[in-house]
Amino acid sequence: MAAKICTFICAAAFAGCAVAGGYKTAGIVEISTNDTSLLVSYTEDKIPHFEYFGKKIKSPKYFEGNQSVTQSDVGEEAPLYSERGGKNFLEPAIEVIHPDGDLNTELRFAGAEKSVSADGNVETTIVRLADKKEKFFVNLRFKAFRKENVISESAEIVNGGDADMKLRKFVSGYFCIRGRKYFLTHINGNWANEARVSEAELTRGITAIQSRKLVRTTLSENPAFMLSLDTPRNEESGEVIAGALAWSGNYKLEFEFDEFGHLNIIGGILPCEYILKKGEKFDTPELILTYSPDGAGRATRNLHDWARNYGVYAGKSPRPLLLNCWEGVTFNVNEPVMREIMDDASKLGAELFVMDDGWFGVKYPRDDERAGLGDWQVNPKKLPNGLAGLADYAASKGMKFGVWIEPEMVNPQSELANTHPDWIVGFPGRDKPQIRNQWLLDLSNPKVQDFIFGVFDGVLKSSPNISYIKWDANRHLESVGSAYIAQNEQERFYIDYVRGLYNVYARIRAKYPNVVLQACASGGGRIDYGALKYNDEVWGSDNTNPFDRLFIQYGETLFYPVKAIGAHISKTPCRNFTTSMKFRADVAMMCRLGIEMRPSDLTDDETADLKRAVETYKKIRDVVCEGDMYRLVSPYDNRNFAATAYVSKDKTRAVAFIFCINDKTTTDRPYFKIGGLDADKKYKVEEINCPSKLSPQSGKVLSGEYLMNRGVNPRFRTGALSAVFELTEVK
């Protein structure tokens, strides 16, 4: 069924509305969800403005009669898409060098049109802007996801002239908010320490979050943010705007606290020179936005709902519980060991076995990280029956089978590097730095795209029983250069690399729509909604220490849904304190549960604990992965405890995870209030995934009102303990 389309000029509906600053509004374009409004206006002179983003306004006539108490000047009213030129002195969203050398752009409103998806949930509004002088156009595309209360913005930039022009900046979205104070929350860190949460009050000037690494762009800073207006971030109160850029390459988020007290937010690709040829169009990635009048928790739940429905590949499908062998054997892959681990994995209840690095390379065997990368032929000495032999064996054990690849990279010691030096990123006469003994392949080159697709295709063709691919990327960009791109256009490499990656992803999805694909980039280096459009999940971090994972998963799930984040139980020693298998399992069960070890290394007690955890998770997986998340106690706010709850959409079931995260004996016996329940329902409380109960409330029936206002008490007596409570409605 085709979408309904309506083209209009808003002046007909809202002609003559008076607006602050001494000019008259000729029209207002309303973009709205069930609970949110984003308003765009334009004057009689067709000057477009960003009016408002926040709580739903039932009629845009709210603005009628507004009077300015300060002088009328540029910056007093927010531009819709800030341009370099005219009277504008704010940070631009678009910078252009026109064919005649003109550095100025002055965009004017040229019309708008709407279309609605067949199910009525997604309304797309295109606001058309045209330069006063040149044949240069910007079409802003707003998508309103009504039920999810999310609005995305992107731009189509069009060179309608007869000569090439240069783009210097071309962001996805620009919007303005007005408050007394602004508090910025974002997640940052480094390898094995990803997604640590930072919050700071913004001061006058420009604050930026950016990455120029091209690959592994989210290991340090993530292209996502929360803004709390007037007061610091609170879970269940206060105005919060959350956003995330759907792009897997270089990006920049800018927050300009201007002289008028406004906060202007810009998000998009990191500025670089891009030659836009005559007649060419340039599409920016989407900037995803949501508004919450009820604190950060609701903003997170909005993003999670949107992600499961629209932002993550196969977001409504269940995720398999897997066992990955990396931490158990590293590169020491061979057929007998893989079969042994699969035998044990099936006994534990795993649904999928993933063979990690070390299975390929003939002339240059992949025995460590120094050789073989790029030569994707099975090593017959390690796997005499090939991938098919192992995949078939997994199927005989009732499991699916998955394989690790790293197709964007190449070792200098490889047949590929010897055969195709022109495929390696670098400029003639310059050194090609190595990271982890790797070079980067030039994905801007269609031949390299074909090769990488061929790697994936070759693995999947080897057996119909292969249904999962872990796609890794263990280095970022340093020295840049492409033999494929023209010498005078080398900067477009930063964009064309990502476009090449997405092109490969799209080809894979066209041929293999049901294969589960994980984006892993040294752990959390590719956690963004650009990658998640094609990937079922991401690998949260190479760090499986459960104490650290509490902090990492807390940060990542601020913006990204739990079902798309892989979290594994391992035997990696904790540098902080000793933790039980139960504690490790309880932490991992808060996301997509997996196991990462060689099960034969476990004691009998550990094996029993692990098997119980797998059985428990399968019973609560739907609530954890599909329910609403409520952060009860942050590990950042209380260094003794952390707690999170998941509540089913119909509020008939809930699961609460509670952790004592110090390493000392404690006399503190707090109650943990469970958010999101129905006050009028009665729930049976059961402590699960434990051989013995910590809480005297386990087995009791309590009201939702009691549980939300009083809570549960696990009665921890020592540190490094955890408790999981399942709540089920009793009629």
Structure tokens at 394: 């997994």
**Residue 76: predicted pLDDT:** 64
Q: 160 and 257 share a domain?
A: yes
Mean pLDDT on 525-531: 98
pTM of the model: 0.95
For 295-339, how does the pLDDT look when each residue is reduced to its tens digit (9 = 90+)?
999 999 999 999 999 999 999 999 999 999 999 999 999 999 999
Q: 283 and 371 share a domain?
A: no
Q: 299 and 368 share a domain?
A: no
The residue among 168 and 75 whose pLDDT is bigger is 168
Nearest-angstrom CA–CA distance, 621 and 689: 13
Q: 260 and 366 share a domain?
A: no
Would 209 be classed as within a structural domain?
yes
Q: 661 and 720 share a domain?
A: yes
Would 44 be classed as within a structural domain?
yes
Q: What band does 175 get if pLDDT is binned at 50, 70 and 90?
A: very high
Q: Are strands 48-55 and 36-43 parallel, antiparallel or unpaired?
A: antiparallel
Would 482 be classed as within a structural domain?
yes
From 311, 346, 368, give the residue that closes a domain. 311
Would 550 be classed as within a structural domain?
no
Rounded (to 5) percent helix, strand, coil in the chain? 20, 35, 45
Would 331 be classed as within a structural domain?
no
Element of type H or E holding 225: strand 224-229
**Residue 715: predicted pLDDT:** 87
Q: 413 and 496 share a domain?
A: yes
**Would you please indicate which residues are annotated as catalytic (active-site) residues?**
472, 542
**Residue 2: predicted pLDDT:** 42
| pLDDT tops 90 at residue 68 | no
Mean pLDDT on 72-77: 54
**Residue 1: predicted pLDDT:** 38
Structure tokens at 695: 């809480």
Number of helices (H), then strands (E), belonging to the chain: the values are 13, 38
From 495, 515, 535, give the residue that closes a domain. 535
Residue whose C-alpha is closest to residue 549's, from 515, 504, 508, 596: 596
Nearest-angstrom CA–CA distance, 195 and 229: 22
**Residue 71: predicted pLDDT:** 33
| pLDDT tops 60 at residue 7 | no
CATH number at residue 665: 2.60.40.1180
Nearest-angstrom CA–CA distance, 233 and 110: 39
Structure tokens at 326: 């990396």
Phi/psi-derived region of residue 442, left when phi > 0, alpha when psi is between -120 and 50, beta in every other case: beta
| pLDDT tops 70 at residue 17 | no
**Residue 13: predicted pLDDT:** 31
Nearest-angstrom CA–CA distance, 240 and 242: 6
For 633-680, how does the pLDDT look when each residue is reduced to its tens digit (9 = 90+)?
999 986 789 999 999 999 999 999 999 988 766 667 789 999 999 999
Which residues fall within 8 angstroms of residue 386, CB to CB, at 6 or more apart? 378, 380, 462
Nearest-angstrom CA–CA distance, 366 and 378: 10
What does the DSSP 8-state code read for residue 581? H
Percentage with pLDDT > 70 across the chain:
93
Would 111 be classed as within a structural domain?
yes
Show the beta-strand stretches assigned E in 514-664: 516-519, 537-539, 565-570, 592-596, 628-633, 641-647, 653-660
Q: Which residue has the tokens 């998508």?
A: 143
Backbone angles phi and psi of 593, in degrees to 5: -70, 140
Contact (Cβ atoms closer than 8 angstroms) between residue 494 and residue 214: yes
Contact (Cβ atoms closer than 8 angstroms) between residue 174 and residue 264: yes
Q: What band does 11 get if pLDDT is binned at 50, 70 and 90?
A: very low
Structure tokens at 247: 């792009």
Q: 367 and 307 share a domain?
A: no
Residue whose C-alpha is closest to residue 294's, from 635, 645, 644, 55: 55
Ordered DSSP codes for 92-131: PSEEEE-TTS-----EEEEEEEEEE-TTS-EEEEEEEEEE
**Residue 718: predicted pLDDT:** 79
From 509, 535, 561, give the residue that closes a domain. 535
Which residues fall within 8 angstroms of residue 170, CB to CB, at 6 or more apart? 93, 94, 95, 155, 157, 268, 269, 271, 274, 282, 284
Would 103 be classed as within a structural domain?
yes
| pLDDT tops 90 at residue 14 | no
Nearest-angstrom CA–CA distance, 393 and 383: 13
Tally of CB atoms within 10 A around 351: 17
Average pLDDT of the chain is 93
Q: 151 and 245 share a domain?
A: yes
Would 502 be classed as within a structural domain?
yes
Q: What band does 724 get if pLDDT is binned at 50, 70 and 90?
A: very high
**Residue 20: predicted pLDDT:** 36
Contact (Cβ atoms closer than 8 angstroms) between residue 718 and residue 694: no
Please report the sign of the dihedral spanned by the C-alpha atoms of residue 294, residue 299, residue 301, residue 305.
Answer: positive
Nearest-angstrom CA–CA distance, 687 and 576: 26
**Residue 25: predicted pLDDT:** 73
Q: 76 and 203 share a domain?
A: yes
Nearest-angstrom CA–CA distance, 97 and 84: 10
C-alpha triplet 392, 396, 401: angle, nearest 5° = 50
Mean pLDDT on 123-140: 98
Q: 507 and 642 share a domain?
A: no
For 212-263, how does the pLDDT look when each residue is reduced to its tens digit (9 = 90+)?
999 999 999 999 999 999 999 999 999 999 999 999 999 999 999 999 999 9
Q: 307 and 389 share a domain?
A: no
CATH number at residue 199: 2.70.98.60
The amino acid that residue 690 corresponds to is C
**Residue 719: predicted pLDDT:** 78
Q: 297 and 378 share a domain?
A: no
For residue 355, the number of C-alpha atoms closer than 13 Å in the C-beta half-sphere is: 32
* Residue count (the chain): 731
**Residue 717: predicted pLDDT:** 79
For 329-380, how does the pLDDT look when each residue is reduced to its tens digit (9 = 90+)?
999 999 999 999 999 999 999 999 999 999 999 999 999 999 999 999 999 9
Q: What band does 413 get if pLDDT is binned at 50, 70 and 90?
A: very high
Which residues fall within 8 angstroms of residue 614, CB to CB, at 6 or more apart? 321, 348, 349, 350, 593, 595
Domain that holds residue 428: 312-316+357-535
Report how many domains make up the chain.
3
Nearest-angstrom CA–CA distance, 65 and 73: 19
